[in-house]
Structure 1
């Protein structure tokens, strides 16, 4: 009813910002072509961000775009969770009810955490990936909604955004790939100080090419003059222009304020103080209007009219007159829906709020809280609880504030706004001591915490304790990705427990610290876990006891495999069953099944994990079901059942994908990549590995993805890419948590890379380190490929003086290590046979019979790359022994066809050279020739000239350019040119690698084959 009251202090002419508006309109055009657009508009308070946005929205409306605006709310511990998204989606829901409902179909309950109109918010599940799942669902809903219409989503005042809003915005900016969608976010740049939480987000967005930053500067004098002309509807006096420009310093809002002050006759009271400038027009309002303005200032960004009426204590006529005066002075504005009022500019609201006396502010906040207590309908239900907490907190009433803040923390948790939950819990901890004892005693853990009370008491009858809040805050910090803060909270709790002995609580916090320390890379978590075990020892069964036993068994399985871990897992299952903790029991049974399979009870172990997989899926425990899929697929690969492993991993990836358990899905893709590699489906394996990197949120699964890409690069002869991916894997895994399942495969890659570059001394050093670290129970699957790679490197280096010197010792080390490795299934029996033959080749003792046994062992395994390598060796042995050439020909053709299909360049090169020497065709259409003469020069096949052949022979012996020059009577510069040409023709990057190629391919002697990598390894947890 007061919309038309506003006086003219805003220029009807849009001044400046032509380039910025053009950038926004251009983004709208690109979005119409199904390219989502993201823009950030920054500038100091009053510089014109809102006006620019309004002009853009008018242009978008003229083009038929559907516009939705949401503003961040400066309220609560840090902000109202998801406030701008909730407001914008509510607007879209009103305008496109059927379309939005269809876009959210099937996920209404989860999306109701952001838009309550979609349905009831479920109580769970809560885990570290709950927020990621919600964000993914939000992104997909927006993409579907914007599939056939342009949607413009504007989020204002990002400097007030809560953590969850910032994280969701960043997620959308990174992941939206389709749809006609434009997201625009504005923020006040002068508020973003060095430690402001928005600053990291802005830095992250600067690194994204898909996000456009627009920074608004102040007006120059000419632009101020145009603004004044628009406001005054006449050309301003030049003296007035100078005065306003000097006093406003080009800030558009200050220009308007100065004009408004002169129009109202209050110019005589102006001071140099910005605060006084903003307050001066408030002070000339009637008393009732001033009172209402001060009440609105404490109500938040927007105050609903019914709530304002309840708080103001005025009759409706008096309130309307007061509002008319405030709106007429251009201080307040009615909201677009007409349901409430807000300040036209937040700077004025802040100035008015700061001008209140402490007692006055507390009294106003109390009246807001009391009004809302008396009438639930005054504000929206989803905002009521957080605003009650804020009002009571600022009313300085701990007795009322503590339960209100705790209730708000529960509401934040239900929305998966864990960072906001943490801030509210920290506020509750601050209020704890000042709240009356009778208030604290009336609180119950069952009402305010989701963590099972570590004390083991009944949460419905036992009073809430400070340690309960610390436990809940620990989990909230962990779920919210604030592990550093979680670690500090556990330290605080354990310090309190030094005075108040409570072994169960202490064990719970030590168990949490174990997980946090490992996750943060501060250690492997064993020291903390050992403390937890000591504390529960001898105590009756409990949830905490079962949790500690589960973690201990899992830790042992991954870090220190041995028979004792199976006993710990069985005890964990028993304890969890006794206390009725089925989720903990299922987790323990996964670990138990894995350990049973490792210890030799394969069928029983697989059956246990399969049962857990089905039960967890039926109960909706998707994280546990995902873990069961991971460990099952890993065990199947270990048994040589790669096709089954791929199928199971695919099923698991689909299951956890629906629940948006991203890290678990990443592990699934990693296991899938390993099994696809084994099956010779390398392109699919590469894509699965890349998906691991794209999906994985934590370091470990990303390390797994990098390792798998390194295996593929090594097999394809891409040594530079191998080194890059190996370094990335090391960086992800770090040095703090040396799990054998991660450590041994990285040694394997390092051996393959060193062999490919001709560094036999480094091969031996890597092997020595790997053997010293040990191959624990169940890890033979990782050790056999490592030993095989080292043996192949030794055989390939035969003839190198530096390698021959230590070969006997190196071969003995490998044989000793192999004697202690298990061969429980055919795939590892085949590896053992292959290793035996390679060690004989290293000693120049291998025979056709040895390689025939290797081929026979591998042939039934569905391992095409491993078989192609073995066939190459058998063909080589047959030719060297003078056997019938026709028996070698099909072996070479089959091996070559596989190598070409896989893209295994190193293997292909060796096969080509061997076939050329033997004058054997590699394809059915190629005619057979006569055997090559003994003095045939294979270097010609690589395009090397006679002089380059001589230089390469010296490079292979380790000669420097100066030594080469002296030997061949050329200049060192000429020698350098020849070396560069040789490197280019061989497709290598260094002298060591060139020497390795020369010896590996026996360019100056009998042909040998390189050391291709064995299959990658599966992850489990």
Structure 2
């Protein structure tokens, strides 16, 4: 056994020993943790966040909890965030925890990861080589997140797992995003997730602060904040440390100076026992933390300073290479530092770390500037001489950090760029951005020969070749800006991405490089839309102008795809079609099949919108099959998104559901969570059309609950919930969903596929609340904006909702004013809407007959045509509404009571099944008015002439007629020769019998149900 191995064995018991042998306080917090463990063991995943200032006892609480968890047979996986500044290791705590699970459960973990080893290797390199992954895939991070959650769920299916992530205040952005996703989506398995963070480090702009605020809104997460000890608890802690009753004066002094911080109590007591009077200590925290380090032998102090600058944990071999001590001297120095409880052996036994990060910070801060640079240089040189001294997944980042802090730009620039490439391959885009920003800082400081030796092929992967030979041309600063812009966008830092693009475009103003400029303008267009600052068209137009007349290139094809995609969403007309066709042609010419397939998907979608339905669908299906064959699953899922949307636009909702379901399965199998969100939004819409309202709601809520989808799919999910709430008679809830959807969509890029459905919901809410003026205003606004090709799927429901509100309010004096103009607007809208499929033929007929009803000229024969049109197209809600109208018309025209009864029963059954309360009530009111039974087993009772409706007396019917005519109580009294007080009593009785809250509702109900007409 080597000297180092022998030392590790001897110190095994010391690694986690705390100075305080007695666990003080925290009984409530420990109970909360153990109760969560019990619930997790029962199959209910748990999540807890433990916060508190440095030294307050978070680690000790977790140690006690983990002891209890191990006693219960739980498998513990512990991972800590690594402090490496701006270039912190991505996913470090998850990688450490998974490595622990791999050691404990090797066979089970491999089985759980089967089929996805390459993706998961970005977190756990032991699973294989992640290098084959497409690092430019925007869904790659989401895929990694989904696969990680599924891995943990599978491992926790048959055993209890406790996943502990310490020191979140040092977490890199990728770790924070993965943790958020894990806590949002973990739904099954016997697993408890416990994360800790240092609360006093969370300043106002700390990146963890918004994450904590977001997690606080999740009711499934419990936050535990550790307070400082009281004097009584400090007394108990001192008693445990000293194994004797402490002197009251010592308790008072230690409590005052430590302010109840458990770690400071320990440090003060140990210093006191070593003969250092507490009063002799400096008031500065750093001096307090350094006092025990300074009592170590010189070699031990030297080793402590080396470990402090090496990172959170320093491997023994690397430490030996940097310390340049003999093995015996190094072992003795480590023995002294560990024996003084300043250093601890790392959990895997291969390195050393400070027992408390505060001590490490103090030691590092105490280094002289030249000393720090020299130590970092020695670390870098040792690592270059023997790369095996650290794990392969950490090597690039560690080397970049050391050379950067060594202040050697010639060595630091290529090291930082190399680390950025390694980080990009792991799809840790936030960390890649930090490294690229550091590279930009080093660019001008590095010698020219260093910059000239760098090649784009080694470091640039963000954008297509811009006309240069990557093998012979040197890397340019613009290449770094392009890489950084994409990394910023993919990591969600869109503001930073936009700023980088502006910097690049300013540089390009002085250069003749149209291809690079066009690429940056196209990227800026996307960011403008994402940031809600415009639709991006001016930027796309600028890019098109720059590539005009140039030979075909990948950049040219990218610009054309951007222009075609813009038109596909906003105006899928001839220009968008031509741009998509040229994009296909250019991409094929430069042999860039991913761009070509992307363009083909856009082209097929535009063809469907333009009326070439079969040709467009065929193109979409061909692109889908090709992308699957090539393994380009990001493009394949985009094809599923557009095919399901196009089928819904054609009224082929059942087919849309099938293709969407297949697409979701594909996306989930590949971890393409964001793509799954887009497809799920389409699925929810088609299920709503098919009358599967509960399932539609479930899909929308699942999309929102995942929290992983981008803004607009979430907006569409909220829009479906708003439609559903409006149809179910919940206008207030519909308004809430609509407001949130509008926030997600933004207001500066009015895309018709979002603005038109939002307007329909707004009209439905206004109609439900009796705000006819708002209905008319909203419809007029939409009519002025127009209905571009392909938007008939949104236009017909919108117009139908508005014209139905007009028809329902016929006969109200206040509503009659301005009705002719409003109906003219309806007719103007109808002229601009296409009728591409049978379902829209049905909508067209229904709109036409509602127009007639609004003018008092609808007929049973025409309503029968509407019913017949809806029967074959799987639109149960619209069919039920049409049956209700047909039954009403039949009863008005001549008492075809048996036919009307059958129609009302069918409509009522549908309304009950859907939960469509307004429709159900309308059907029930009409049946009650006509004395028809909705129960199939009871024959309808014949109406007796002269029967009152809803129990209204003849006098009340007369009063209701005057209320409907807009008369006041005084005018009613004058006309009927009664007192105003009596008129008021009659009106109150009428409102109560009709179950309405106001005169306007009573009048509307009277007209709608023909209560003022002769008996039906």
Q: 1:42 to 1:1006 in 2, by over 3 A?
A: farther
- Shift of the 836–280 alpha-carbon distance from structure 1 to 2, 3 Å rule, reads closer
- The 5 A counterparts of 1:2-401 are 2=7, 10-125=19-134, 126-267=136-277, 270-401=281-412
TM-score under structure 1 length normalisation: 0.93
**Structure 2 residue 437 is the aligned partner of structure 1 residue 404:** no
Q: What's 1:532 paired with?
A: 543
On the 8 A contact 2:20/2:241 being kept in 1, the answer is yes
Contact 1:948 1:982 in 2 (8 A): no
Q: What displacement does 1:284 show?
A: 2.8
Equivalent residue number for residue 856 of structure 1: 868
Partner SS state of residue 152, structure 1: strand
225-234 or 182-191: which moved more? 225-234
State yes or no: 1:927 paired with 2:935. no
Q: Which residue is equivalent to 1:794? A: 806
Tell me, in whole angstroms, the C-alpha distance in 2 between the residues paired with 1:106 and 1:143: 16
Change in Cα spacing, 1:860 to 1:150, as seen in structure 2 (3 Å) is closer
Corresponding residue number in structure 1 for 2:3: none
Asked whether the equivalents of residues 677 and 713 of structure 2 are also in contact (C-alpha less than 8 Å), the reply is: yes
Is residue 762 of structure 1 aligned with residue 774 of structure 2? yes
Deviation at 1:693, TM superposition (A): 3.0
Q: What are the equivalent positions in structure 2 for 1:528-567 lying under 5 Å apart?
A: 528-567=539-578
For residues 320-719 of structure 1, the aligned pairs below 5 Å read: 320-453=331-464, 455-695=466-706, 697-719=709-731
Distance 1:887 1:996 in 2: 26
SS at the partner of 1:341? strand
Give the Cα separation in 1 of the matches to 2:636 and 2:19.
60
Asked if 1:748 corresponds to 2:760, the answer is: yes
Q: Which residue of 1 aligns with 2:877?
A: 865
Contact 1:304 1:378 in 2 (8 A): yes
Task: Name the CA shift for 1:243/1:588 in 2 (closer, same or farther; >3 Å).
Answer: same
The alpha carbon displacement at 1:78 in A equals: 4.2
Deviates more, 1:614-623 or 1:262-271: 262-271
Alpha-carbon distance in structure 2 between the residues aligned to 1:118 and 1:486 = 33
Q: Is contact 1:132–1:661 with CA below 8 Å preserved after alignment?
A: yes
Q: What are the superposed Cα offsets for residues 628-649 of structure 1, whole Å, 9 maximum, x if unpaired?
A: 2222222222323222122111
Distance in 1 between residues matched to 2:817 and 2:888, nearest whole Å: 25
**Residues 339 and 903 (structure 1), Cα distance of their counterparts in 2 relative to 1, 3 Å cut:** closer
Change (3 A) 1:946 1:159: farther
Stretch of structure 1 that moved more, 723-732 or 774-783: 723-732
The answer on whether the counterparts of 2:956 and 2:986 sit within 8 Å (CA) in structure 1 is no
The answer for the alignment partner of 1:905 in structure 2 is 917
Could you tell which deviates more after superposition, 198-207 or 844-853? Answer: 844-853
Q: Is the 8 A contact 1:623 1:661 kept in 2?
A: yes
What residue number does 2:851 align with? 839
Q: Using the TM superposition, name which of 813-822 and 629-638 deviates more.
A: 813-822
Q: Does the residue aligned with 2:163 lie in a helix, a strand or coil?
A: strand
Structure 1 contact 76–386 (Cα < 8 Å) conserved: no
Partner of 2:296, secondary structure, is coil
For the pair 1:1004 / 2:1004, whether they are aligned, the reply is no
- Find the residue that maps to 1:499 and give its secondary structure: coil
Deviation at 1:193, TM superposition (A): 1.5
Residues 680-715 of structure 1, C-alpha deviations (whole Å, 9 max, x = no match): 333333323333433462222222222222322333
Q: Secondary structure at the match of 1:91?
A: helix
Q: Deviations over 1:105-151 (max 9, x none)?
A: 22221111111112211432333332222112111211221222221
Cα distance in 1 for partners of 2:554, 2:966 equals 65
Cα distance in 1 for residues equivalent to 2:387 and 2:224: 42
Structure 1 residue aligned with 2:825:
813
Could you tell me how far apart the structure 2 residues matched to 1:404 and 1:70 are?
A: 26
Q: Alpha carbons of 1:191 and 1:748: their partners in 2 closer, same or farther (altered >3 Å)?
A: closer
Instruction: Kindly indicate whether the alpha-carbon contact (under 8 Å) linking 1:454 and 1:504 is maintained by their aligned counterparts in 2.
Output: no
Query: Tell me, what secondary structure is at the counterpart of 2:924?
Result: helix
**Closer/same/farther in 2, CA of residues 514 and 888 from structure 1, 3 Å limit:** same
Distance 1:665 1:809 in 2: 45
Tell me the distance in 2 between the aligned counterparts of 1:634 and 1:366: 58
Report the Cα offset of residue 79 of structure 1. Answer: 1.7
Tell me how far 1:402 sits from its aligned partner. 0.7
Give the whole-Å Cα distance in 1 for the aligned partners of 2:914 and 2:791. Answer: 28
Provide, for residues 864-883 of structure 1, a one-character-per-residue CA deviation record: whole Å limited to 9, x for no partner.
33233333333333332326
CA 1:500/1:294 → structure 2, altered by over 3 Å: closer, same or farther?
same
Inter-CA distance 389–929: structure 2 relative to 1 (3 Å threshold): same
Deviation, 1:316, is 0.8
**CA deviation vs aligned residue, 1:17-49 (integer Å, no higher than 9, x gap):** 222222222222222212222222222222222
**Structure 2: runs of 5+ lacking an equivalent:** 1-5
Separation of aligned partners in 2, 1:249 and 1:88: 34
C-alpha separation in 2, matches of 1:482 and 1:1006: 68
State the shift of 1:818 in Å. Answer: 2.1
Specify whether residues 219 and 342 from structure 1 end up closer, same or farther in structure 2 by C-alpha distance, changes over 3 A only.
Answer: same
Aligned partners of 1:440 and 1:464 also within 8 Å: yes
Name the SS of the counterpart of 2:872 in structure 1. helix
Which string of whole-angstrom CA distances, capped at 9 and with x for unpartnered residues, describes residues 252-280 of structure 1?
22222223223333448532222222222
What is the TM-score normalised by the length of structure 2? 0.93
Residue 952 (structure 1) shift = 6.6
Are 2:680 and 2:699, in contact at CA under 8 Å, matched by a contact in 1? yes
Measured after TM superposition, the shift of residue 953 of structure 1 is 6.1
SS in 1 for 2:86: coil
- Bigger mean CA offset, 554-563 vs 675-684: 675-684
Cα distance in structure 2, aligned partners of 1:571 and 1:217? 65
Classify the secondary structure of the residue corresponding to 2:891.
helix
Q: How far did residue 605 of structure 1 move?
A: 0.9
The separation in 2 between residues aligned to 1:9 and 1:679, in whole angstroms, is 64
Larger deviation: 754-763 or 187-196? 754-763
CA change 1:61–1:459 in 2 (3 A) is same
SS in 2 for 1:939: coil
- In the TM superposition, what is the alpha-carbon distance from 1:791 to its structure 2 partner? 2.7
Residue 382 and residue 596 in structure 1: after superposition, are their counterparts in 2 closer, same or farther (change >3 A)?
Answer: same
- The Cα shift of 1:408 comes to 0.9
Secondary structure of the residue aligned to 2:325 is coil
TM-superposed deviation, 1:285: 2.4
Deviation at 1:398, TM superposition (A): 0.6
SS in 2 for 1:218: coil
Verify the 8 A CA contact 2:528 2:534 in the aligned structure 1: yes
- Distance in 2 separating the partners of 1:706 and 1:961: 44
